[in-house]
Amino acid sequence: MQIPRLHPDTVEEVKQRADIYDVVSEYVVLRKRGKDYVGLCPFHDEKSPSFTVVPTKQMYYCFGCQAAGNSIKFVMDLQKRSFSEVVLDLARRYQISVKTLAPEQRQELERQISLREQLHQVLALSAQFYQHALKNSGGGALDYLQNKRKLSPEIIQQFGLGYAPQGWETLYRYLVEDKHYPVQLVEKAGLIKRRKEGSGYYDVFRDRIIIPIRDVMGRVIAFGGRTMGDEQPKYLNSPETELFSKGKNLFALDAAKNGISQFNSVVVVEGYFDAIALHAAGINNAVASLGTALSIEQVKLALRYTESKQLVLNFDADKAGTNAAERAIGEIADLAYRGEVQLKILNIPDGKDADEYLHTHSSQEYQQLLAQAPLWLNWQIEQTIKDKDLKQAVDYQQASQQIVKLLKNIVNPDTRSYYVTYCAEILSLGNVQLVPLRIENLLTQINKSANSAPNKSIINRASTPNNKETEKSKPRIEKSLLEKAEGLVLQIFLHCPGQRQNIVDIIDKRDLQFSHSHHRFLWQKILKVLEETSDEYNSAVISKLQDACLENPEETAPVTHLFHLTPQTKSEILRAQQVIKAAIACMEIAMCEKRIQHYKQLWQEIDPEVDRERHDYYYQAFSEESIRLKGLDKQRLFSILDL
């Protein structure tokens, strides 16, 4: 179904509720800088962050590629989706009632939104069912949680732990037959599956401890199930649904977000019960990765709540845990190399996981381990030389090559220098005299590797013809004097309410037109908004114009930057009257030049022997416009408009 045009009230409420920081931080790792936040721009490749989020103005701006806008524009540009699609999705996320300009289309639209709401309802009811079943399970499941897992009734209640009974259709009968939920809805919630043979459905979770998985707002979106014995698989998650994606959610983030902000750090563990045990011990900045390799999306989701961007991976110290840690590092290595994430690795002694460790150790001892956790590079270097005899040529060569692979990606020269020396000392096996030689060897290999190995990211970018970095590398044609002038007139109109009527009067009185189509389009939208708004000083003018731009992204893409001020344009606004005068003069010059060319052509085309009167008329008009052009040119004496 094609999404109908949304009512302005709905658009306005989405803009008010869809916080710019919340939306952007799902995709960009942001660091606080004063009142604003900065990060690496998602719209072009860069090494130094030039992308700025301004919560007070609910906008973002990139000083590198000039991408700018509000929450809606950000999602539109990043996901290449339409205005209505993005507004509708944000309305769903923030539970905003949707109105359309076509009442007959509301029913289908509301049905789409209603599906997610119904899924939330059926999952919440299922969580209550599992909790009730736990209390009436005859003691087996509850005994498992309280005695084997050593969880208090308060923690069991806080995390909503439950029990799925043994029967194949217990939950099915409760939801479908007793509560009369449509079987298709229960299936879409990931709670039941259709039988492969015969008719009917069966419960996904049976005879398992149930752990509700919640979104960051605390709503149940899925479940994890754990056997009470050694049956396989030990853990079972809900399938992917409309509400749930393993790679985009983190277990216990709803409970941990305040702790992450308080500790200014996030601890990521592998298992549900590891995270629960840490929270029970008062370490409430812990989340779990839902049994999958930690993804970039999950990392950015967790780091939204910490300024330091410190992330500690506490995976099991066994082979599987080490492999999981290395996979996670691989996912976020680029962020870590650039310093966008302060990544640490914690392996608990004796190969224990967090849950096991806290059964015999205190919270303070675990926190001490966290404080002593090595940086990820140190950990990887240790993994590289682990079980290797560096006195043996083969082991030494393998270790050296793997170390070079790590060191060559370090961007900061001081950091690289530190780790080169650090690794040289390791490879010297305590012989101080060998350290300078090892440093020289490492640097030689690093430089050789950098010069000979092709840069994969450059190859990828070069092979993509539409990539902005490719476009950026091409020689750019600088904006014309006229385009700068027109842009300044429009920008002053947008940001100086006191000058709006003056600009309208001048353009109307002198019958001026904008030469560039994108400027003409914006000016037409301005005039339309002014007709609908009684007070031209009203701040709603900007909001309505932005909405009009979002609905016409192709036409307005070249003018979105005008809605945001750079340090340079801020200085121009301080002398708005002078800039308006110079800019209007440029616009008049452009029109005057067009008239001169027009009259000159007409004059040259007419034979004076045939039509002397018209010949002289066009010559006179040509001469007058030429004189006027000289006068206008004198008005344009401001360096800001010079190329």
**Residues forming a β-bridge with 39:** 51
Retrieve residue 238's tokens: 């809900």
Q: Which residues contact 447 (CB under 8 A, 6 or more apart)?
A: none
- pLDDT, average across residues 404-412: 88
- How far apart are alpha carbons 336 and 29 in whole angstroms? 11
Burial class (CB in 10 A: 0-12, 13-18, 19+), 637: exposed
- Cα Dmax for the chain: 115
**pLDDT at position 429, please?**
93
Count of alpha carbons within 13 angstroms of residue 217, beta-carbon side:
8
**pLDDT at position 481, please?**
72
- pLDDT, average across residues 277-300: 90
Residue 456: pLDDT band with limits 50, 70, 90: very low
For 575, phi then psi, to 5°, come to -120, 55
**pLDDT at position 634, please?**
61
Residue 144: pLDDT band with limits 50, 70, 90: very high
Q: Which residues contact 568 (CB under 8 A, 6 or more apart)?
A: none
Question: Is-contact 18 94, C-beta < 8 A?
Answer: yes
**pLDDT at position 103, please?**
63
Q: Is residue 135's pLDDT more than 60?
A: yes
**pLDDT at position 575, please?**
81
Question: Is-contact 519 549, C-beta < 8 A?
Answer: no
Q: Is residue 442's pLDDT more than 50?
A: yes
Question: Is-contact 269 314, C-beta < 8 A?
Answer: yes
**In Å, how far are 211, 287, 327, 474, 537 from 271, measured between CA atoms?**
11, 9, 16, 49, 57
**pLDDT at position 313, please?**
93
- How far apart are alpha carbons 398 and 404 in whole angstroms? 10
**pLDDT at position 101, please?**
63
Listed ranges 38-47, 291-300, 400-409; the one with the highest mean pLDDT: 400-409
**pLDDT at position 534, please?**
62
Retrieve residue 257's tokens: 């977000």
Residue that is written with structure tokens 């563990």 in the block: 269
**pLDDT at position 276, please?**
97
- How far apart are alpha carbons 392 and 398 in whole angstroms? 10
Three-state secondary structure string covering 78-113? HHCCCHHHHHHHHHHHCCCCCCECCHHHHHHHHHHH
Burial class (CB in 10 A: 0-12, 13-18, 19+), 629: middle
Q: Is residue 638's pLDDT more than 50?
A: no
Higher pLDDT, 138 or 176: 176
Q: Is residue 193's pLDDT more than 90?
A: yes
Give the Cβ contact number of residue 414 at 10 Å: 8
Q: Does domain 8-101 have CATH number 3.90.580.10?
A: yes
**pLDDT at position 110, please?**
60
pLDDT per residue as tens digits for the range 289-342:
887 778 888 888 888 788 788 999 998 766 777 777 888 888 788 888 877 889
Q: Closest Cα partner for 385 from 374, 400, 407?
A: 400
pLDDT per residue as tens digits for the range 5-15:
777 888 888 88
Q: Is residue 636's pLDDT more than 60?
A: no
Q: Is residue 355's pLDDT more than 90?
A: yes
**pLDDT at position 478, please?**
35
- pLDDT, average across residues 565-589: 79
**pLDDT at position 457, please?**
34
Distance of CA 325 to the CA centre of its chain: 24
- How far apart are alpha carbons 341 and 99 in whole angstroms? 41
**pLDDT at position 317, please?**
67
Q: Is residue 616's pLDDT more than 70?
A: yes
DSSP 134-157: HHTSTTHHHHIIIIIS---HHHHH
Listed ranges 125-139, 178-192, 319-333, 508-522; the one with the highest mean pLDDT: 178-192
Residue 180: pLDDT band with limits 50, 70, 90: very high
**In Å, how far are 171, 599, 609, 621 from 617, measured between CA atoms?**
92, 9, 14, 6
**In Å, how far are 9, 85, 419 from 4, measured between CA atoms?**
14, 10, 58
CA-based torsion, 434, 440, 441, 443: positive or negative = positive
Q: Closest Cα partner for 496 from 578, 585, 591?
A: 578
Percentage of the chain modeled with pLDDT above 70: 87
pLDDT per residue as tens digits for the range 481-540:
778 888 888 988 888 888 888 998 898 888 888 888 888 888 888 888 887 776 655 666
**pLDDT at position 4, please?**
61
Mean pLDDT of the chain: 83
CATH of domain 109-211+221-238: 3.90.980.10
- pLDDT, average across residues 230-255: 91
**pLDDT at position 535, please?**
61
For 142, phi then psi, to 5°, come to -65, -40
Class of domain 248-373: alpha beta
Q: Is residue 252's pLDDT more than 90?
A: yes
**In Å, how far are 52, 335, 560 from 38, measured between CA atoms?**
5, 14, 20
Does this model's pTM top 0.95? My answer is no
Three-state secondary structure string covering 221-270? EEEEEECCCCCCCCEEECCCCCCCCHHHCCECHHHHHHHHHHHCCEEEEC
Retrieve residue 140's tokens: 């087996």
CA-based torsion, 117, 216, 188, 80: positive or negative = positive
Higher pLDDT, 613 or 566: 613
Residue 477: pLDDT band with limits 50, 70, 90: very low
Q: Closest Cα partner for 215 from 242, 245, 176, 254?
A: 254
**pLDDT at position 451, please?**
61
**pLDDT at position 279, please?**
97
Q: Closest Cα partner for 398 from 387, 384, 381?
A: 384
Least confident span in 107-116, 262-271, 540-549: 107-116
For 352, phi then psi, to 5°, come to -85, 155
Question: Is-contact 220 241, C-beta < 8 A?
Answer: no
Residue that is written with structure tokens 């001892």 in the block: 365
Least confident span in 79-93, 422-436, 456-470, 611-625: 456-470
Higher pLDDT, 48 or 368: 368
- pLDDT, average across residues 386-411: 92
- How far apart are alpha carbons 607 and 213 in whole angstroms? 87
Listed ranges 266-280, 283-297, 328-342, 625-639; the one with the highest mean pLDDT: 266-280
- How far apart are alpha carbons 412 and 418 in whole angstroms? 10
Least confident span in 142-146, 233-237, 476-480: 476-480
- pLDDT, average across residues 547-560: 71
Question: Is-contact 493 526, C-beta < 8 A?
Answer: yes
Question: Is-contact 37 28, C-beta < 8 A?
Answer: no
Question: Can the peptide bond before residue 165 be classed as cis, meaning omega within 30 degrees of 0?
Answer: no
End-to-end CA distance of the chain: 49
**In 338-464, where does DSSP find H-type helix?**
354-360, 363-372, 376-385, 393-407, 413-427, 435-452, 456-462
- pLDDT, average across residues 380-386: 92
Q: Is residue 269's pLDDT more than 90?
A: yes
Q: Is residue 143's pLDDT more than 70?
A: yes
Question: Is-contact 69 59, C-beta < 8 A?
Answer: yes
For the chain, state the CA radius of gyration: 32
- pLDDT, average across residues 53-80: 86
pLDDT per residue as tens digits for the range 87-113:
888 887 787 877 766 666 666 666 666
**pLDDT at position 410, please?**
87
DSSP type of residue 562: G
**pLDDT at position 450, please?**
64
Least confident span in 82-86, 98-102, 623-627: 98-102
